[in-house]
Structure 1
Amino acid sequence: MLGTSARLLELLVLLQQRRDWTSSALAERLGVSTRTVRADIGKLRSLGYPVDARPGVAGGYRLSAGATMPPLLLNDDEAVAVAVGLSAAAGGRLGVEETSIAVLAKLEEVMPSRLRHRVEAVRRAAAVVPGAGPALDLAVVSGVAAAIHGHERLRFGYVKPKGAEESRHVEPQRLVGWGSLWYLLAWDLDRDDWRVFRVDRMRPRTPTGKRFRPRAIPERDEVDFVVDRVLHTGWAHRARILVHAPADVVASKIVVPVRIEAVDTASCRVELGSGDPDHLALWVTQIGVDFEVIEGDGLIAALDRLGARVQRAVGSR
C-alpha cells in the first residue's frame, strides 16, 4: 500500500486524468477504503486543490477550477511537451513572450536533468519562425475560447478593413488557426447566418451573454467552412493557379492561407486570396516552381507589373 504522501500524489494524478470519479473507483485504484478516499480528498482541499463532491449513493469527485492556480503534476512526456511549447511561444506573436520565458525558467529549475537534456535536444534541432501576421492579444483569444467552451453568447466590436468598427452579437462555435491568422466561426444573431471573423480585429465586450445550444453546420466540416468563407468572401482579390509540384511540397513553401488540391503526384491546384493583388504575385513566385494562372485577372496584372520591375532591374546591368 502506498504511503500517505505518495497516495495523495497518485490521487491527484487520477483526478487530472478524467473529469469524474466515483469514490469506489478511486478506492479500488488506490487500494484503500472509500473512507480513506474521503479523508485524502479533504487533505487535497486543504492544500488548495478544488475538488467537488457529487452527492448520491455511489458518491463522486471531480477536480474543478478554483480561485487560485494549484500545482499540477506532469509526467516526463508532458513536462517536455510543455517546455518545448513554452520555448516556441517565447518567439511567437501571442503577446505572451515574456510570460513564457518566466514560466519556462521556473519549469526548468525543477526539471530533472534527463528531461532538461530532452528539451535542449528539441530546442537545438528545431526553430520557430515568427509569423508575419498581426500580433494577437492573448486576453482576446482566451476570452473567445472560454465563451466557446461555456456556450455563452459573445458581444464584440469588429474593426472592418477600412477602420470602421461595428457591433456584433454571436454564438461562438470554433476557433480556427490558418496561416498567420486566427478566425472565429460563429452564428451571427443579427444576421441569422454563419459568419467568420478575424480574431485580431475583434474587441470583446464583457460580460458574456446567456448560454446557448451549439448549432450544427449543415453538410460541412467546420474547418472547411472557414477556409471556404475566407477564400470566397474574406478577400477582395482571389486567384487559382496550377502548380507543377506535388501538393505536400507546395504546402511546405506557402505560409499564407491557401487551399491546395492535388491533381496528381506531380502537380496541384492552389486557391488563394488577398486584399492586394501584388501580395498574390509575391506569394506565388516565392513557391519557386513553374505555375499557370487558371483564373485571377488581378494576379495576372500584378505578375505583369512584377515581371516588368524585375526586367528593369536586370536590364540596367
Structure 2
Amino acid sequence: MMDLVADTSRRALRLLSLLATARCWSLEELAARLEVSKRTVRRDIETLRSLDYPVTTVHGPARGYRLGSGHTMPPLQLDDEQALAITVALQTAPSSVFGLGEDAERALDTIKRVMPARLRAAMESLNLTSLQNYWEFPATPIDSDQLKSAGTAVRHRHVLRVDTTRPDGTRPAPGDDDFTPTRRIEPHHLVIWAGRWYLVAYDLTDADWRVRRLDRLHLHPPTGIWFPPRDLPGGDVARFVMTSHDRGDTPATWPCTGTARLNLPAETVARWAPGGSVVEPLTPGHCRLTIGAWSWAGVAGILATFDTDLDQVTPPALKEACRRLVDRWQAVSKDQ
C-alpha cells in the first residue's frame, strides 16, 4: 500500500512539473510522458485540483491542460530528470561564464540540502570531471555581469551601445588601425555554440544583421531605448549563426596553422568548419579558410573533408603535407 502511495505521489509531482512549464499539454502527451493510462492522468489532475492547484482545461483545437495563473509552487518540487539537469548544469556552467565556479558550487550544495533523500543521493552520485579534448575550441569564459547585461537588453528589447575589442580584450584607441567607433545595435538573440557566446543583433549603423562574439564586445551602460522586434533573415537563428562567416572569430592557437582558397561559398564552409577557424569570403563561390591542427597533415586532412577543389595553399609546409597525403592515399588505392 505504501509503495502505491509513493508511486502516486511521484507521478503527481512529475505531472505538476510538466504542467508548470506554461505550455498546454494534451491528455495523450501527458499519458505518454507519465507512462500511464489517460484515465489515470485525469484522476491525478483531479488530485492536484483538490490540493488547490488551478489546473485548467483548454478547449478548442489546442485542447489539453495547463497550470493557471496565481498558483504557488511548493519549493523545489523537482522530479528525477529536473534534478539531474540542475546537477549537470551547475557543474558545467563555470566553463563558459567567469566567476560562477564558487557560486555554482554553493547553489548545488544548497539545493542538495533541501532535496528528498532519494534525489539527494542521485545528485551526489553525479560528480563530474570535465576534460577538454583536442578538438574543442572554447573561448575565454564570459563575465557574468556582461552576460546579464546582454540578456537583459535582449529580453527588454533595449538598444545597446558597443565597442569591438581585440582578442586580448583591450579596446583599440582612436588612430589605431583596428579602431572602430561605438556602434548602436538592436540585440535579438543570445546564442552559445562551440563553447562561444554570440550576440545576434541588428546593426543600426550598417542597417544589417550581424553575429558578434560577446567576449569581443564592450557593452556601454544600458540606454533604455526600446526597439520593435524584427524578422531574422530565414527565421532560423541557429542556421543564421552557423552560416555567418563574420562572427568575430580568430584562429585558435595550434602548432600548425595554414590557409587555402576553397571552391565553396563562405556560408557553406562556415557551417562545417570546426571552431577556432576563420572563413573569409572572396567571391560568391569561393572563400579562404584559415585552420589549425597539431600537425600539417592534420590541417591538410581538415581541408580534405570539404571535398572540393582548393588552391593558394600556404605555407609551404602545408603544401608538402598535402603531397604526402596524396602519396599515402594512392598507395591505399593500389593495395588490393
The match for 2:41 is none
2:171 corresponds to 1:190: no
- Of 199, 203, 225, which aligns to 2:214? 199
Q: Which SS does the other structure have where 2:230 is aligned? A: coil
- Aligned counterparts, 1:102-181, within 5 A: 102-123=106-127, 127-129=130-132, 132-160=138-166, 163-164=171-172, 166-181=181-196
- Aligned counterparts, 1:96-107, within 5 A: 96-107=100-111
* Deviation digits for residues 194-227 of structure 1 (CA, Å, limit 9, x no counterpart): 1221100112122233222211123353222222
Q: Aligned partners of 1:136 and 1:107: how far apart in 2?
A: 25
Q: Aligned partners of 2:248 and 2:311: how far apart in 1?
A: 15
**Identical pairs, percent:** 27
| TM-score scaled by length of structure 1 | 0.57
Q: Aligned partners of 1:115 and 1:28: how far apart in 2?
A: 23
Aligned residue identity for 2:243: D
Q: Aligned partners of 1:298 and 1:81: how far apart in 2?
A: 45
Residues 152, 172 of structure 1: 8 Å contact kept: yes
Q: Which SS does the other structure have where 1:176 is aligned? A: strand
| 1:285 CA displacement | 0.8
| 1:110 CA displacement | 2.6
- Of 86, 90, 93, which aligns to 1:86? 90
The match for 1:18 is 22
Q: Aligned partners of 1:144 and 1:175: how far apart in 2?
A: 8
Aligned residue identity for 1:294: D
* Alignment CA distance shift 1:93-1:13 (3 Å): closer
Gaps in structure 1 of 5+ consecutive residues: 1-5, 21-25, 38-59, 65-69, 243-250, 260-270, 309-317
Gaps in structure 2 of 5+ consecutive residues: 1-8, 25-44, 55-67, 173-178, 252-258, 265-271, 280-286, 324-336
Q: Which SS does the other structure have where 2:151 is aligned? A: helix
The structure whose residues are more often helix, as a share, is 1
| TM-score scaled by length of structure 2 | 0.55
Residues 93, 136 of structure 1: 8 Å contact kept: yes
Aligned residue identity for 2:210: R
Q: Which SS does the other structure have where 1:210 is aligned? A: coil
* Alignment CA distance shift 1:238-1:223 (3 Å): farther
Q: Which SS does the other structure have where 2:244 is aligned? A: helix
The match for 2:50 is 31
The match for 1:311 is none
Q: Aligned partners of 1:289 and 1:218: how far apart in 2?
A: 30
2:230 corresponds to 1:211: no
| 1:254 CA displacement | 4.9
Q: Which SS does the other structure have where 1:134 is aligned? A: coil
* Deviation digits for residues 118-156 of structure 1 (CA, Å, limit 9, x no counterpart): 3355446x7453854222112212221221122221122
Cα-Cα RMSD: 4.7
Residues 300, 318 of structure 2: 8 Å contact kept: no
| 1:290 CA displacement | 9.3
Q: Aligned partners of 1:239 and 1:78: how far apart in 2?
A: 47
| 1:184 CA displacement | 1.1
Q: Which SS does the other structure have where 1:297 is aligned? A: strand
Residues 138, 196 of structure 2: 8 Å contact kept: no
* Alignment CA distance shift 1:31-1:98 (3 Å): same
Q: Aligned partners of 2:106 and 2:297: how far apart in 1?
A: 39
| 1:187 CA displacement | 0.5
Residues 296, 317 of structure 2: 8 Å contact kept: no
- Of 285, 288, 291, which aligns to 2:298? 285
| 1:163 CA displacement | 4.6
Q: Which SS does the other structure have where 2:97 is aligned? A: coil
| 1:106 CA displacement | 1.5
* Deviation digits for residues 39-70 of structure 1 (CA, Å, limit 9, x no counterpart): xxxxxxxxxxxxxxxxxxxxx84589xxxxx9
